[in-house]
Structure formats: C-alpha cells, structure tokens
Amino acid sequence: MHLTILSIPHSANRLTYDYNELVLIIDMPSNLHEESFDYFKECLTLAIASIPYNRKIIHPQISMNYCLKIEGKTVTPDLTVTIAAMLGPTKSVVVSGLGECALSENKVHVFTKMWKEVTVHLEVDFAIIALIKEAMPYECPIPNSTTFKTLISEDDADHGPLSLRAFIRQRSTPRQFNNPIKVAEHNWCQVESVEYFVWTKGVNGTPININNRDPQRMAYGVSGNHRILLSNLRH
C-alpha cells in the first residue's frame, strides 16, 4: 500500500491518497470546530427576532458559510452576521459581526485571519474568536482492539459500524465539561478549555482593532478548569 499524506497550508483539511486503491481521503474539521458558535447563533437569532425593525427595509442574517472577499480572495468565517437593504435596484449588504474558531488551526493564523477580515470590512460592529484546547489529540481506535471489536455491529453481516443510538449507549462517562467523551473505553474527545475574545466597535464608530485590549472595547474569558471571566465589556 502506498499512502501519501498532504497538508494544505492554513487549512484544517488533510488529504491522504492511496495509490493502489485510487482513493482520496479528506479529513475535514470535526463538529467541535463549529460547536462554539452553534449555541451563540441560536441566542443571536432570538435576540434579533425580538428587536422591532421594518422587515421590508432590512434583512439581518446569520450564516456559518458566508464568503467574504479580502485581498483578492475569498474566506469563509465560522460565523457571519450580515444586514441587507431590501429596497433599491440592487441589495446593499454590510457585515455586522464576525466569528472565528480555532481548533484545527493555530492561534496565530486565526488572529491573522480575523485581523484581515475586520481591516477590509470596517463596518463590522463586533468580532469573536474562540480558541478550543483539547486535553489530548484525537486518535482512532486501534484495529482489532477491544474498542474496535465492541463497536462492530453484530447484526451486520458485513461487520459495519454501530448505529448512532447503539454507539451513544456505550458511553461510560458523565456529561460534564471537563470529562472526556469515552465510548467503549476509548477517549473520543476531551476539551480542556475554551478561550473567548470579543471586540466591539467604538462609540464614535472607531473600527475594531483586535490588538486593542482596552476593557472598554474588548472582553476575554475562559471556560473550563474553573477559570472565570477575566474582563468584561463596559458598554
């Protein structure tokens, strides 16, 4: 078997190509990468819905795959809040909020990416960066191990994987933040902490500067390991 593993610079994807089977395997970012903004999106959606505004004039939208143009290329933030004008011959769209999460990408890259986004889109009202730190890197179960054999469905003639319901029943750890997600005695995921960085535009319309650590315009907090919010926005 001839395998070649390719890493794409500044990308969360990893490619593995099997020359014998002519198969290309693409390792995509896990759901954990998106999780930090899933709940925030729900809360923000409810908050926007509660604000009185003329829906015939503007249309706010929260997207997880919105494409932004910066420096002659396009990027896809993990969260984008846009407001579109509904009147006129063409729609005018402004970017109100941006969110980036770093799990598979490093801290320097995600901060550089956010800096480029807010530098081009000076209209952004708020920006959020979430840094997820795992207690240990993910590893697949070893073939023919106890975990590997446990997760094979006995009802499947082809020895396929367990159904999702049967898989979850194998969980042996409580649902708590710092506890690992252990199924069939294998540690599938364990989050050590999540750092949050939040910036807002100045009262006089001053654009966001992610290098600014003034508590009037920036908040920082950590979830996990019993650490508490270190600073709050005083808006």
Q: What is the pLDDT of residues 21-44, one digit of tens each?
A: 777 766 665 667 777 788 889 999
Q: Which residues contact 214 (CB under 8 A, 6 or more apart)?
A: none
Instruction: Give me the mean pLDDT over the 66-87 stretch.
Output: 87
Looking at the chain, how many residues does it have? 235
54 & 118 share domain: yes
Q: 124 with 95: CB under 8 angstroms?
A: yes
pLDDT per position as a tens digit, 141-159: 888 888 887 777 555 555 6
Average pLDDT, the chain: 78
Task: Check: CB of residue 24 under 8 Å from CB of residue 15.
Answer: yes
Backbone angles phi, psi at 138, to 5 degrees: -70, 140
Q: Residue 5's pLDDT is what?
A: 41
Residue 72, domain member (yes or no): yes
Q: What are phi and psi of 137, to 5 degrees?
A: -70, 150
Q: How confident is the model at residue 169 (pLDDT cuts 50, 70, 90)?
A: confident
Amino acid at 42: E
Residues 70, 6 share a domain: no
Distance CA 234, CA 203 (A): 11
CA-CA distance, 107 to 7, in Å (whole number)? 18
Q: Is residue 180 part of a domain?
A: no
Q: Judge if 71 and 104 occupy the same domain.
A: yes
Instruction: Tell how many helices (H) and how many strands (E) occur in the chain.
Output: 4, 13
- Regarding whether 107 and 96 lie in a shared domain, the answer is yes
Domain check: are 20 and 45 in the same one? no
Q: Are residues 86 and 115 in the same domain?
A: yes
Is 142 part of any domain?
no
Does any domain span residue 230? no
Q: Which domain holds residue 9?
A: 1-30
